[in-house]
Structure 1
Amino acid sequence: MEGLVVRHPDVAEYLAFLEKERQHSPHTVTAYGRDLDRFTEFCGHHYGGKWTWATVDRLGLRGFLADEQRRGLGKRSAARSLSAVRSLYRFLQTQHGLAVNVTRGARVPKQDRRLPSYARRGQLDQLFALAEARAADDDFIPLRDLAMLELFYSTGMRLAELTGLNLKDVDLLSDQVKVLGKGRKERILPVGSKAVAALRRYLAVREEVVARKGSQRQAVFVSRLGKRLAPRSVQRAMRGMFQAIGADGLRVHSLRHSFATHLLDAGADLRAVQELLGHASLSTTQVYTHTSVERLKKVYHQAHPRA
């Protein structure tokens, strides 16, 4: 099923609803759009050109999910595809009076819960040493990248939360920042002393950059042109540092995982970590305890005489 897909008007309406009414992130809306475009394309091939939402039956839904798996999607992606179709049908029921919901009772493929990857302490020492060395001359880009690295690990914030930071959200006198998380929920995060120091150094040189005409003065992290830094640019900057220390497997999100894992390793309360991460469910945070338990098992087997 290749080629240009014309977006179904009901799908377009639903995505606009997610963005404007539910205030979902652009990343989530884009991902749902791709899933639903594939679903409508499948329905067009499977049922013919005059299909409707009521035409779709359970057999067709299973065919779509099977087609998703044939495309090589993992269980998490297949589960999201079904979730997208299910939420679309609920929207059509409430907004357009659709009488049937083919997704009711449909089973989401069972997901394997993956342990999150995180940076070891030795890797973090290397990362910070590298970033500090690059920033020694107080140049704009190295200072900015050092501040981002410190802030990611100090707070555990998400990529979108960092790029969305505005100056009014940063309170260096109180050592805290305010972030806007998933579901447009605000939370206040404490910032460690090293991250505060890195931010002060960066903000001092940032002033000259944002003084230019057309700059986005409210944005904390900006490009050389004074524009708010895009997530992709942050990923590129962090990836360059990861590769420089030979840690190609690390990602920006690995710093968030490291933040949570190291807090739990040090005995932090699980619910406190949940609040810091902005997780709606405690079960989402509990995945980090598995990593800590594995570490404890290793220590036990190395040290206990009868292990």
Structure 2
Amino acid sequence: MAATVTKIDNRRFAPGDGKVGGPTVRAAIDAFLDSPKVKGNPNTLRAYTNVLDRTGQHLGFGRPLAGVDDDEIGGALAALWSEARPATWNRNRAAVGSWLSWCADKQHWTGPALPVATERRRENNDDTKAVSRSRIDRLCRRRDVPLREKTLWRMLYESASRASAVLALDIQDLDLPNKQARIVAKGGNIMWITWGTDTAHLLPRLIAGRQSGPLFLSEHRPGPHRLATTDPKDICSETGRVRLGYDRARILLAHHGDGLRLHQLRHSSATHLGEANVSAAIIMAKTGHKSLRSVQRYVKPGLAAVHEATETLSSPRRRG
């Protein structure tokens, strides 16, 4: 008589979870976004919400989390971001991985994990990514570029700040007379950013008398679903429009700037300060970097500075 083999499912099922009464994908995402680690930093919350909402929509919000397998996670990442730049892929992969790890390790819910095949992608450093002041100036003076974009790009360059932090600014964060604003820096710390005359000239026109709400707004009012799923803090009560998102800002700069990336404005700012012999300590204070090693990557002299230094090696009669 042939023996009967019973397959044992050795995955962990905590009481009340799994395929019987466990959380749905939507509930698991909401719980993670409501955790202190995430909701304590508005920038992190906004970034994770965007990534996980798209992932959840692809997987199916109403499905039990325990019914999703690893390959489906890999498939969702591939479908949504396979064509993205390595930095974007790695950032979004990490966000999904953080969510899944939290579900397993903190909540003990049965669910999928990042598949082994879904690997980080190599991010190649590009020593030529700092762009000239004249290119940035020409871009911000073009008549076909809207005021919102000009203001954002000027502020990113003059403040040397992260795009996510600047996009998170509210009007009430601004100190216009002193050309400064409070932002939430990486790690949740509060710091001041400063800007110059060009940004100061544009800001009042962009604000246009508004007293509060997001500084940078979307072009149009959102539809009912988008409005219902948007944090009230990201909605302008006066116009009904919502905060401009990172992805949209990235696309607009790439379109008008011939492939220019948001981070290049910050990198160019720090590089130009370094070329002007501004001290590393001042650059660290301006950019918010915590380590000298990080700043050294940004203040690496550009090609023009190398040419200028090379001239000092020439015979005095032949210089220039």
TM over 0.5: yes
- Paired with 2:118 and 2:262, the residues of 1 have a C-alpha distance of 32
- Paired with 2:65 and 2:241, the residues of 1 have a C-alpha distance of 45
Alignment pair present for 1:261 and 2:271: yes
Residue 127 of structure 1 aligns with which residue?
139
Residue 28 of structure 1 aligns with which residue?
48
Which of 185, 191, 209 matches 1:187? 191
Segments of 5+ residues of structure 2 without an aligned counterpart are 1-23, 221-237, 316-320
> Quick one: structure 1 residues 81 and 154, their matched pair in 2 at CA, closer, same or farther if it must change by over 3 Å?
closer
Which of 148, 153, 156 matches 2:152? 148
Alignment pair present for 1:162 and 2:166: yes
Contact 1:163 1:228 in 2 (8 A): no
Query: Which whole-Å deviations, capped at 9, do the CAs of 1:24-55 have from their partners, x for residues lacking one?
Result: 232234335667998x89xxxxxxx99799x9
- Paired with 1:150 and 1:72, the residues of 2 have a C-alpha distance of 29
- Paired with 1:34 and 1:236, the residues of 2 have a C-alpha distance of 17
Count of matched residue pairs: 265
Report 1:92-241 matches (<5 A).
92=103, 94-97=105-108, 109=120, 111-115=122-126, 117-130=129-142, 142=147, 144-200=148-204, 202=205, 206-207=208-209, 210=210, 217-222=212-217, 226-227=239-240, 230-231=243-244, 235=249, 239=253
Alignment pair present for 1:297 and 2:299: no
Residue 14 of structure 1 aligns with which residue?
32
User: What SS does structure 2 have at the residue aligned with 1:231?
Assistant: coil
> Quick one: structure 1 residues 304 and 191, their matched pair in 2 at CA, closer, same or farther if it must change by over 3 Å?
same
Q: CA deviation at 1:198?
A: 3.0
Q: CA deviation at 1:176?
A: 1.6
Contact 2:250 2:262 in 1 (8 A): no
Q: Share of identical aligned residues, percent?
A: 19
- Paired with 2:289 and 2:241, the residues of 1 have a C-alpha distance of 26
User: What SS does structure 1 have at the residue aligned with 2:122?
Assistant: coil
- Paired with 2:151 and 2:98, the residues of 1 have a C-alpha distance of 39
Q: CA deviation at 1:130?
A: 3.0
- Paired with 2:33 and 2:160, the residues of 1 have a C-alpha distance of 29
Q: CA deviation at 1:294?
A: 4.7
Q: CA deviation at 1:117?
A: 2.8
Contact 2:29 2:52 in 1 (8 A): no
- Paired with 1:110 and 1:124, the residues of 2 have a C-alpha distance of 30
Q: CA deviation at 1:248?
A: 0.9
Alignment pair present for 1:278 and 2:298: no
> Quick one: structure 1 residues 194 and 89, their matched pair in 2 at CA, closer, same or farther if it must change by over 3 Å?
closer
User: What SS does structure 1 have at the residue aligned with 2:32?
Assistant: helix
Question: TM-score normalised to the size of structure 2?
Answer: 0.58
Contact 1:118 1:250 in 2 (8 A): no
> Quick one: structure 1 residues 271 and 228, their matched pair in 2 at CA, closer, same or farther if it must change by over 3 Å?
farther
Q: CA deviation at 1:174?
A: 2.2
> Quick one: structure 1 residues 301 and 83, their matched pair in 2 at CA, closer, same or farther if it must change by over 3 Å?
same
Q: CA deviation at 1:188?
A: 0.8
User: What SS does structure 2 have at the residue aligned with 1:187?
Assistant: strand
Contact 1:19 1:29 in 2 (8 A): no
- Paired with 2:90 and 2:262, the residues of 1 have a C-alpha distance of 24
- Paired with 1:305 and 1:117, the residues of 2 have a C-alpha distance of 28
Segments of 5+ residues of structure 1 without an aligned counterpart are 1-5, 42-48, 136-140, 211-215
- Paired with 1:226 and 1:151, the residues of 2 have a C-alpha distance of 23
User: What SS does structure 1 have at the residue aligned with 2:25?
Assistant: coil
> Quick one: structure 1 residues 191 and 107, their matched pair in 2 at CA, closer, same or farther if it must change by over 3 Å?
same
Contact 2:160 2:267 in 1 (8 A): yes
